[in-house]
Amino acid sequence: MTKANIVNDAITYIEELQNQVSELTNQLQEMEVTEEEGEMKLRGIEPEVEVARIDETKLWIKMVCPKKEGAFTKLMEAITALGFEPNNASGITSRGALLVTLHVEEIFRRPTDVRKIQESLLETITSI
């Protein structure tokens, strides 16, 4: 074998190892997400959305969803898409669940149906 062949073989082997690391990392992440969802269900924690009107244009929102990467971001995007601006938000995770509470204000200053907001956010949570 020449030095060039040895180097080429080494490069090929390293690339195969990098692919294996990538595949195993993805599998591990999938397993962690599945464990978190299972933990939430095992503890009897169900996805939930509560919406209460504070005044004509302000709402208080509580959401419980599975703890997954990007879940908080998706919830904030859904809130914004519904025409609300978060004034105050807090989140906590426990037992595979994410609890988010928000105070939001309607951007367009027009009253909306609280039930429709609740249904829309529940759809978002079930899609996470």
Give the pLDDT of residue 34: 57
Query: pLDDT class for 72, splitting at 50, 70, 90?
Result: very high
pTM over 0.75: no
Q: Which helix (H) or strand (E) holds 103?
A: strand 97-106
Strand-by-strand arrangement of the 58-66 sheet: 48-53, 58-66, 97-106, 84-94
Sort strands 97-106 and 58-66 into parallel, antiparallel or unpaired. antiparallel
Give the pLDDT of residue 107: 86
Render pLDDT for 27-63 as a digit per residue (tens, 0 to 9). 877 766 555 556 666 677 889 999 999 988 899 999 9
- Residue type, position 67, single letter: K
Domains of the chain with CATH codes? 1-128 (3.30.70.260)
DSSP state of 71: H
Q: Which has the closest alpha carbon to 105: 69, 55, 68, 66?
A: 55
3 state DSSP class of 1: coil
Mean pLDDT, the chain, whole residue set: 87
116 backbone φψ class: left, alpha, beta (φ>0; ψ -120 to 50): alpha
Whether the CA torsion 113, 44, 64, 71 is positive or negative: it is: negative
Cβ–Cβ < 8 Å for 111, 57: yes
